[in-house]
Each structure stands twice: as structure tokens, then as C-alpha cells.
Structure 1
Amino acid sequence: MSTQAQRTTSGQITLVVEIGLLLLLSLIWGSSFTLIKVAVPTIPPFTMVAVRVTIAAMLLLLLAIAQGHALPRQRSVWAAFFVQGLLQSALPFTLISWGEVSIPSGLAGVLNATPPMFVLAIAMSTGRARQTVTRWKIIGVALGLAGVAVTMGLDALSGIGSAAPLAQAAVLGASLCYALAPMWGQRFSKLPAIVTAAGAMSCAAIPMVPAALILERPWTLAPTSQAVAAVIVLAIVCTALAMVIYFRLIRTLGPLGTTSGSYLRAGFAVALGTAWLGERFTLSSMAGMALILAGVVAITMPPSARTSRGN
């Protein structure tokens, strides 16, 4: 086998590995919506997130040390970790957990499939994507926005003070955080993924622990065993393990490629919510979900795939 052929084969294997990791991350984060729905009735949002990020931070720090990595000492790096922790964990976890008090986990998962649209919109507004904006991407953004509007319902504006529209808006706010997080996270490309994950998660715990203690007094709670188990799985699998995969994918696939897994995550969230929680959706919700997923696919589909479909 020639050197060029070996390089091509190696590149193909690497791509398969990265896509496999993206699928795994989508499954892990898709299941998090179901786990949050199980936990939130007896463990309120701030407490749930505080426990989740604290356990994950401890595991990631221990793993980084065990692998022989030294944590950065520069204040500027830790300031950047703090922003990353807010964008990737503290804010979106809290917004989603609060939102799922009032809406189904599957709906939350679909509304949270919108980060690629935010990534594209931000890139367009900052001038970073002017040469890569295509007709399909514009169509994708339009479809996604229409899907959000249909999913939230035509009466959302009239009922803006009620729980459901605000809950849906909170989940969309989490999507914006998830769009900004990989863009910010690119600055850590020279650090090992485990170090970045440990630093960012540790910083996420800093505001969440006192917020939970002050606002929800967790020592007064009486969580069910299922809720406790759900939070433990959220911390170990959906946060600690997921963050290591996530920061690797930022380096290998980039922000848009990494966030493209959000529509796969949405599919897993809907399937798990239906199978485990018996969730049902209205016709408008299903139509909105379909529009959102179609929009994300249009934005993230490689140009070669569009060309082949047109032939």
C-alpha cells in the first residue's frame, strides 16, 4: 500500500472514530433530558446542577491528575475556564432543568437542537461566515425559526406569563449558551481535553453551590431514590464523560460540527421520553419538531451531499 493510500485510510478511520464519538455524545446528552425529568420533581434545578457539576468536577480533576497532567496556573486561563463553565454547564444546565419542570423532556430536547442555528447566525453577524453562507443554510435557519414558533404555539405570546412559554424560552436560552460555548472553547485547543474539562467544570461549580445553598436549602429536601440515581448518572456519564468527548470534538470537528449532533440528541431525547416516561406530543409540537430537525440538517449537511441529492 502506498504512503498516500495509507494516509487516506488513516484519515477515513479517524473520521469514523470522530463521528462515532459524536453519536455517543448525542446519545449521552439526549438521555440527560429524560434523567432531568426523573430528578426534578424532588430535586430542584439549582441543587441538581450544583451536585451534578461538583461530582463531575471532582472526577475530572482526579482523572487529570492520575494521567499526569498539571493544571494551568495563569489567572487568564482560569478566567477563560470560568466563562466556559458558565456557557457550557452552569447556565444551560440550570435553564434546562428549570424548563423541564413545566415541559416534556422530549420537547426540551428538540428545542435544544437549535445551537447550530445560533452558531451560524453568530458567525454571519460577526462576518466569520460570509463566504460560507449558502442558500441551504439560509433555508435551514428559516425552517428552524418556523419550527420553534410552531412548537411554542401561536398562543405563546398571549400566554407569555404562564409557565410553558417561559420554560420553552429558557431551553432556547440554553441553546444559545451551547452555541457560544464551542466558539469560546476553541481557545483551549492546546490543552488536553481532560484538563479543559476539569478546569471548566470546577469553575461551573463555584457559582452553583452557593446558589443552591441559598435559594433551595438542599438539606431540607427529601429526594426519591430514583431522583438521586438520576443525578449521579447525570454527573458521571452525562457531564464528566461527556465533557471529555466534547472538548476533543471541538478540536477535531470544530464548533459547527460539534453542535450538529444536537439534532441527533433531540431524536434520542424524544425517543427516550416516549419510551421511559410515556410522554405524548400534540400535532403542532410534532410539526415544529420536524421543522427544527429539517432546519438543522439543512445547515449542517456537507455540500457534497447536497450536490449528490440534486443529481
Structure 2
Amino acid sequence: MSTQAPQAASDQTTLTLEIGLLLLLSLIWGSSFTLIKIAIPTIPPFTMVAARVAIASILLILIAGAQGHSLPRRGSVWGAFFVQGLLQSALPFTLISWGEVHIASGLAGVLNATPPIFVLAIATITGRGRRTISGQKIIGVGLGLAGVAVTIGTDALSGIGTTAPPAQAAVLGASLCYALAPIWGQRFSNLPAIVTAAGAMSCAAILMLPTAALLERPWTLLPPPAQAITAVIALAVICTALAMVIYFRLIRTLGPLGTTSGSYLRAGFAVALGTAWLGERFTWSSLAGMTLILIGVVAVTVPLPARNGEKQPA
């Protein structure tokens, strides 16, 4: 019996698992927009992000230790962790939290769905990973972006030219960070995902705690309501600690473009969660948009069948 059939079945099972994890990660991060909106009226942006990454880093270090892993000792690795923590957490979390003070979450969702565009641009300009970017993936990126626009609706897009341009630029800056982060994160492929997540998040906490203390002096603020505190804890435990472990695994298995394609799904889930939690109206355009999103993500993440022994790029 040929060994190709069992190997193909194994590869298909693995790909199904990774796409399932991408869906889960998108759902988790899609909920973060709602949680930020709940917390931001009483917890300012730097303080919120500092609490989020500090709680997540402690949890990740404890989990890594419980699994028998120790953090690296080499200074060069920690230098890379600092860059990863800045790109993946400290800077984009702050930019999005600040941006959502000034613009609607729908517009933020559209602007924050652009990392795959940035990944394509970076690969084209630098040549890094250009061989793995096929026409199918380019079409998938375009379909996903169109799906986000349809899902969020034209009302959100109409604010692009009129509503708080600096806040819009901040959310786009976060998208650029999210595009650079998985490219940088590929250097940690030899480390367990939990170790990379713990190291990068610890560095994000080291960056954010003094920043929040200096700029916002959180000890002088009025105590936030229980709802806001619960939202920040959920952001830390689910949307950060758990999400980072999944994220660093997907960087290894799906690559930067496949991983960032989850930003389209994240926007779709944000709309669905807004309908379920906040009573927002679900329209046929939302359904059509999320269908386009799913088709786009499949195009980006699922390779075409190889022809007569041709090997598809990873």
C-alpha cells in the first residue's frame, strides 16, 4: 500500500486542527473589542494594557513552570523577546485601546483587519517569503478585506475621512505591528509556544508598567466598577495569555500570512458578538460579509492540490 494516502490524511487532519485553532483565536480576539469598550470609560488605556499584560505574563510563567519549561537565559533571546512583546502586545494593545476612545468599534474593526495587506506588502518589498505568496493567497486577502467591509457596513466606513484621524492612524499602526510581529516571531520556532509567549509577555509588562505609572498614575484614579475589572481580567487571561499560546503555535504551522488572515475572522466575530451581547442588529449584509471572510481565509490557508508530483510551497 502506498504511504502517500496515510500521509495525505495526516496532513489534512493537521491542517483542520490548525484552522480550528485559527477560528478559536479569531473568536477570542474578536471579543477583545467589546471588552475594551466595557473597560475604557473607567480604566485609561495605558493602565488597562499594563494590567492586561502583567496578569497574562504571571499566568504564562506559572503555566510554563508547571509544564517543566524554564525561560531562556541568553541576553540575545531576551532582546528578541522585547521586540516581540513591543510589536505583538505593548504597542498595538495601547494604540487600539486609545483609538477606541475616539472612534467607533466598527470602524476600528475595519482598520484593524488590514494586517494581511501589510504582510503582503512587506513580503513584496523585502522579498522575504515572496515565493510562498501565490495568486490564490492574494485573491484570498482581497476577498477577506471585502468581506470585512461588507460585514461592518458602509456606515462605519463613512467615518474614515471625518472621525478622529489620529485615532484611525493609531489603529492602522496597530495593524502594522500585527503584521510585523509574526514575521519577527518566526525566529522562536525552536522554543515551545508557552515559553515564547511567557517571555514576550513578560517584556511587554516590563515596558507597560512604568509607562502607565508615569503617564496615568493609576493609584490616583477612582476605583473602577466590577464590570470593568472583570473585562480587564478576561482580556488578560483569555484574550492575552491563552491567545498568545495559540498564536505562537500558528506562526510555526500556518506562517505569518495564514496567521494574520485571522484578523478578517476577528472582525466578523466582533460583529457577531456585538449582536449576541449588545443587541446589535444582524443583517443579510453581515451574513454575506462573513461568507466572503471565510472564503478568503480558506484561500489564504489551504493550499491547492499539487499537480502530478509538484510540491506546493509551505
TM range (shorter): 0.7 to 0.9
List per-residue Cα deviations over 1:183-232 (Å, max 9, x = no partner): 00000000000000000000001111011111111122321111000000
Structure 1 residues 151 and 83, CA gap change in structure 2 (3 angstroms) = farther
CA contact (8 A) 1:47 1:218 kept: yes
Q: How far apart are residue 130 of structure 1 and its match?
A: 4.5
**Superposed, which structure 2 residues align to 1:193-272 within 5 Å?**
193-219=193-219, 220-272=221-273
In the alignment of these two chains, the number of paired residues is: 300
Check the 8 A contact 1:194/1:244 in 2, yes or no. yes
Q: Distance in 1 between matches of 2:108 and 2:256?
A: 21
Within 5 A, what are the aligned runs for 1:109-148?
109-131=109-131, 144=145
1:78–1:274 distance in 2 versus 1, CA, 3 Å: same
Following TM superposition, by how much is the alpha carbon of 1:16 offset from its aligned partner in structure 2, in angstroms?
1.2
> d(CA) in 1 for partners of 2:177 and 2:296?
17
Is the 1:140–1:295 Cα contact (8 Å) retained in structure 2? yes
More displaced 10-residue stretch of structure 1: 190-199 or 257-266: 257-266
Distance 1:105 1:19, change over 3 A: same
Relative to structure 1, is the Cα distance of residues 16 and 275 closer, same or farther in structure 2, using a 3 angstrom cutoff?
same
Alpha-carbon displacement from aligned partner over 1:37-80 (angstroms, at most 9, x marks no partner)? 11101111100000000000000001111111121111000000
Unaligned runs of 5+ in 1: 306-311
Whether the aligned pair in 2 keeps the contact of 1:114 and 1:296 (CA below 8 Å) is no
2:21 is the alignment partner of 1:21 = yes
* Distance of 1:271 and 1:225 partners within structure 2: 25
* TM-score, with length taken from structure 2: 0.83
Give the deviation of 1:2 after TM superposition: 5.6
1:168 paired residue number: 168
Match of 1:81 in 2: 81
Q: Which amino acid aligns with 2:167?
A: A
Contact 1:35 1:231 in 2 (8 A): yes
Identity %: 73
**Contact 2:140–2:296 (CA under 8 A) maintained in structure 1:** yes
User: Paired residue for 2:311?
Assistant: none
TM-score, with length taken from structure 1: 0.84
CA distance in 1, matches of 2:4, 2:142: 42
Where does residue 43 of structure 1 map in the other structure? 43
In structure 2, relative to structure 1, the CA distance for the partners of 1:247 and 1:18 (3 Å cut) is same
SS in 1 for 2:101: coil
Q: Distance in 1 between matches of 2:245 and 2:269?
A: 20
